[in-house]
């Protein structure tokens, strides 16, 4: 109930006024059944503008820190992200990748739409960065199609570091579903997972018109640890909301 109240009554009208969001290619989103919606990540508001223009409910995987805050602020944050349909994932510890994969597969097994940001974090400068392969693992394990989604203009409404939202035109471009059934049974093969990820990122580049950068976005935010990560081509699922 709260999801629909926020969408149509509490938050949606404000976003409509600020962004006047337009969607192109919405016919590519199935009326029922599971699908992975893989989007570029320009702003925190991506996760709100996109569901605003899609009739079906979208579930995003969210970092667990949004659910563990203390005090009144922490309680409100935990309640808000829960009622709008976010699923917490713990990105720390040895079992983080498996737990994230299981959470995503559980959402898809229920016939829902799963929203993922392959870049793993918000773009720090508006460019499109290398995708992490957790999305590919999910697609190969579940057998569902991946639908590329380009968010355009949300960074102008919600710039990194800003405390106030600003009026700006928002466009959402939905591409044709990508069927990876040709790789059936090859989940866990890092070369196949990289090929799947790169294909999705290429589609996102074409849809969004962004310049592509072949490094992880987090490299610019946390250089040393990310260099170690890149060396092993980490396959954990991306953080879908924070940057």
72-82 per-position pLDDT tens digit: 766 766 666 66
* Integer Cα distance of 96 and 153 in angstroms: 32
Q: Is the pLDDT of residue 175 over 80?
A: yes
At 88, is the pLDDT very low, low, confident or very high (cuts 50, 70, 90)?
low
- The residue whose two tokens read 């800003």 is 162
Q: For the chain, give every domain's residue range.
A: 2-232
Please give the structure tokens belonging to residue 51: 């569901």
Superfamily holding 2-232: Glycerol-3-phosphate (1)-acyltransferase (3.40.1130.10)
- For residue 153, the model assigns a pLDDT of 97
- For residue 164, the model assigns a pLDDT of 86
22-42 per-position pLDDT tens digit: 999 999 999 999 999 999 999
Q: Is the pLDDT of residue 67 over 80?
A: no
**Strand duo 171-174 + 22-24: pairing:** parallel
Distances (CA, A) of 174 to 22, 70, 90, 147: 11, 38, 29, 7
* Helix residue ranges per DSSP H, 60-95: 71-83
Strand, helix or coil at 128? Answer: strand
Q: Is 120 left (phi over 0), alpha (psi -120 to 50) or beta?
A: left
105-135 per-position pLDDT tens digit: 999 999 999 999 999 889 999 999 999 999 9
178-218 per-position pLDDT tens digit: 999 999 989 889 999 999 999 999 999 999 999 999 999 98
- For residue 120, the model assigns a pLDDT of 84
């Amino acid at each position: 109930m709260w999801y629909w109240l926020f969408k149509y009554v509490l938050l949606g009208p404000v976003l409509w006024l600020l962004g006047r969001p337009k969607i192109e290619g919405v016919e590519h989103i199935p009326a029922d059944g599971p699908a992975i919606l893989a989007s570029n990540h320009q702003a925190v508001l991506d996760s709100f503008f996109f569901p605003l223009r899609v009739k079906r409910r979208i579930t995003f995987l969210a970092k667990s820190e949004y659910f563990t805050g203390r005090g009144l602020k922490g309680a409100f944050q935990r309640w808000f992200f829960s009622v709008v349909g976010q699923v917490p994932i713990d990105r720390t510890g040895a079992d983080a990748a498996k737990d994230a994969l299981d959470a995503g597969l559980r959402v898809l097994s229920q016939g829902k739409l799963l929203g993922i940001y392959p870049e793993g974090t918000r773009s720090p400068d508006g460019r499109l960065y290398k995708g992490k392969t957790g999305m590919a693992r999910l697609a190969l394990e579940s057998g569902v199609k991946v639908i590329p989604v380009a968010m355009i203009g949300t960074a102008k409404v919600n710039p990194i570091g800003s405390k106030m939202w600003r009026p700006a035109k928002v466009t959402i471009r939905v591409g044709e579903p990508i069927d990876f059934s040709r790789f059936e049974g090859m989940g866990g093969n890092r070369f196949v997972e990289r090929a799947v990820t790169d294909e999705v990122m290429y589609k996102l580049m074409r849809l969004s018109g962004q310049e592509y950068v072949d490094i992880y976005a987090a490299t610019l935010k946390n250089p040393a640890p990310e260099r170690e990560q890149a060396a092993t081509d980490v396959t954990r699922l991306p953080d879908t909301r924070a940057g």
